[in-house]
Amino acid sequence: MKNILIDISGKIDNSYIEPLIEIKNSAEGLNMQFFVIGAFARDIIMEYFHRIKAPRMTMDIDLGIRISNWNQFDSLITKLESSGKFKKTREKQRIIYKDKVIIDLVPFGNISNKDEKISWPPENEITMSVLGFNEIYNNSTIVRLKNNPPLELKIPTLPGLAVLKLLSWSDNYPDRSKDAEDLFFILINYEYTGIENKLYESELSILESEGFDNQAAGIILLGREMKIISSKKTVKCIREVLNNETSENSNYNLIRDISINSKISFDKILFLIEKLKKGFNN
């Protein structure tokens, strides 16, 4: 895991801090590991750390829980319920803290099958892909959300979050247009996330090849970094998605989903997705 600390203590509302403290204490008591994923992770990195306003604020928290079996998952839910602060819902992955904060717990790790999918018991009818979760967790960074006492949690890096967003969109299309929007939000703002020195020093060749277009060069760099942290299986999946979504005979579903709430032209979106593909395929 990357030993980097992002300090945004004092910036997150206590209504989110409180359930995270409870979950961390319960998970650690059961020797479980977890990390923050989804739009809440996006907000932590982009809005609270880089001061880049997100297109929409999330009111939910998504957590990836690394476990080996469903008994461990049930033990965590039971422990949280016993505090009297959490309630289960009809959706098996979802709990609610003090009737206010919705929290989704996504199991990953050895609990998944060889295809990196999980099936929710007892019916095993609801199947979900957790492809990419293991390597993104292993390449996560540390964020401090609170001082005194300190609350430190793991979150994906921006390349890791981009991987998860693209995979989630692909796995759940057409129901996850927000993942496409979040992916594009990362793409168009990546140049403003502290990579300028890298572009003008170690990765100057990328910048030169793009005519010193910082945005395009930044997206190519993002694609490279996404590939570096991805497993072979994840690389294969993402490469197929990017190739399919930019080919001449494509339906351009990814670009269309991004376009729903974007003022950027279709051709420009396609151009930038092609830059991501260029970086990822190199």
Q: Which of residues 156, 179, 206 is at a domain's end? A: 156
> What are 73-95's pLDDT values in tens digits?
999 999 999 999 999 999 999 99
pLDDT of residue 112 exceeding 50:
yes
Nearby residues of 119 by Cβ (< 8 Å), 6 or more positions away: 113, 125, 126, 127, 128
Q: How far is residue 154's CA from residue 85's CA, in Å, rounded to a whole number? A: 23
| 22 pLDDT above the threshold of 90 | yes
Whether residues 208 and 277 share a domain: the answer is: yes
Task: Supply the pLDDT for residue 60.
Answer: 94
Pick the closest to residue 219 from 195, 249, 236 (CA basis).
195
Same-domain status, 96 and 59: yes
Range of the domain at 180: 161-281
Question: What average pLDDT score do residues 233-241 get?
Answer: 98
- The neighbouring-strand residues paired with 129 are 117
> Given the DSSP bridges, would you call strands 151-155 and 141-146 parallel, antiparallel or unpaired?
antiparallel
> Which of 156, 179, 214 finishes a domain?
156
How big is the CA angle at 155 (ends 244 and 107), to the nearest 5 degrees? 75
Element (H, E) at 271: helix 266-281
Q: In this predicted structure, what is the pLDDT of residue 124?
A: 84
Q: Which of 7, 62, 6 is closest to 35 using CA atoms?
A: 62
Label residue 4 by pLDDT band (50, 70, 90). Answer: low
31 and 152 fall within a common domain: yes
Residues 195 and 214 in one domain: yes
Number of Cβ within 10 Å of residue 213's Cβ equals 14
What per-residue confidence (pLDDT) applies to 125?
79
Whether residues 151 and 212 share a domain: the answer is no
**What is the sign of the dihedral through the CA atoms of 232, 234, 240 and 245?**
negative
Please give the pLDDT value at position 3: 57
Do both 22 and 124 map to the same domain? yes
Q: What is the pLDDT of residues 213-233, one digit of tens each?
A: 999 999 999 999 999 999 999
Of the three residues 114, 139, 156, the one that is the final residue of a domain is: 156
Residues 115 and 254 in one domain: no
* 118-157 pLDDT tens trace: 999 988 878 999 999 999 999 999 999 999 889 999 999 9
Element (H, E) at 22: helix 14-29
Give the residue-averaged pLDDT of 55-77.
93
152 lies in the same domain as 172: no
pLDDT band at 1 (very low <50, low <70, confident <90, very high): very low
Alpha-carbon Rg of the chain, whole angstroms? 19
Q: Are residues 132 and 181 in the same domain?
A: no
170-213: per-residue pLDDT in tens?
A: 999 999 999 999 999 999 999 999 999 999 999 999 999 999 99
Clarify whether residues 76 and 183 are in a common domain: no
Enter the pTM of the model: 0.95
Tell me: do 128 and 52 sit in the same domain. yes
| Domain harbouring 107, CATH code | 3.30.460
What span, in angstroms and rounded, lies between the C-alpha atoms of 44 and 23? 18
| pLDDT(257) > 90 | yes
The total of structural domains in the chain comes to 2
Tens digit of pLDDT for each residue in 29-49? 999 999 999 999 999 999 999
Q: How far apart are CA 112 and CA 149, in angstroms?
A: 34
Check whether residue 200 and residue 187 sit in a common domain.
yes
